[in-house]
Structure 1
Amino acid sequence: MGLAEYSLRMEAALLKQANREREIALQAFLNQSVQETKGSEKHPVPKYTRFSDFFDYGEAIDNIRANYEQDYQPVSKAGANKREADLIAQRWKKYIEMKRKER
């Protein structure tokens, strides 16, 4: 396994870990939203009203990808899916090309 393939696999592992952390944070958020409140006893208000206030998944992904891609720019939510699909296709082509060169 070459350095480029190792780097690609490491990034994939970290992205998978970020997805798992998101699932754990979501479960914690749902548990917390039922229990933790602020305000008076008569008028309790949930401490966090949105999941994004509790855990910023986009920021976690941006941090991981910024470490592995030198020219990475944080993406907006609107174009994120299209850009991500294009990037995955591009990386897949690179991976296949690397595999062919190894043979």
Structure 2
Amino acid sequence: MAYLGFHSIDAIGKMTLSEYYLRLEAYQLSELNDREKIAIQAWFNQTVQATTGKKNPKPKYRKFNQFFDRKEQELAIRNTFADDTLGISEKAKRHTSAEIFMRRVEQFKKLKAAGRIDPNAWKRAKKEGD
């Protein structure tokens, strides 16, 4: 609770749940600022050291946002605390669609193993339609 600015038990007891979530969001955004500062320092170090290619070395990351995407991380924090989603980044959309696909594959495997899906049903339907 000290990270959220509390130093007495009385103040904690008077706090509402919505105030707690607001303080928690503010704390996480503050932590994001700290991570960004660290990432900027790492970026400067990386631009000096990290390269690809032996003959003609080139920087591994050409843009800072390839290395550290603040917008995506901030959107993830804000979506955690928002009543409705504020949007989703392209990277998160790809990740989410991959998760959905994998869940559906697992569900298909379970249904097939339970005998609830007939893998040859399409062949019979095709014969009946002819």
Q: TM-score range by the shorter chain?
A: 0.5 to 0.7
Partners of 1:71 and 1:8 lie apart in 2 by: 15
Larger radius of gyration: 2
Counterpart for residue 83 of structure 1:
none
Counterpart for residue 20 of structure 1:
34
Runs of 4+ in 1 over 4 A off after TM superposition: none
Counterpart for residue 66 of structure 1:
79
Note the C-alpha offset of 1:75. Answer: 8.1
TM-score of the two chains, using structure 2 as the length reference: 0.54
Partners of 1:23 and 1:72 lie apart in 2 by: 27
| Structure 1 residue 29 corresponds to structure 2 residue 29 | no
Alignment of 1:85-96 (within 5 A): none
Counterpart for residue 70 of structure 2:
57
* Structure 2: runs of 5+ lacking an equivalent: 1-14, 90-130
Aligned residues: 75
Partners of 1:38 and 1:75 lie apart in 2 by: 31
The partner residue of 1:11 within 17, 21, 25 is 25
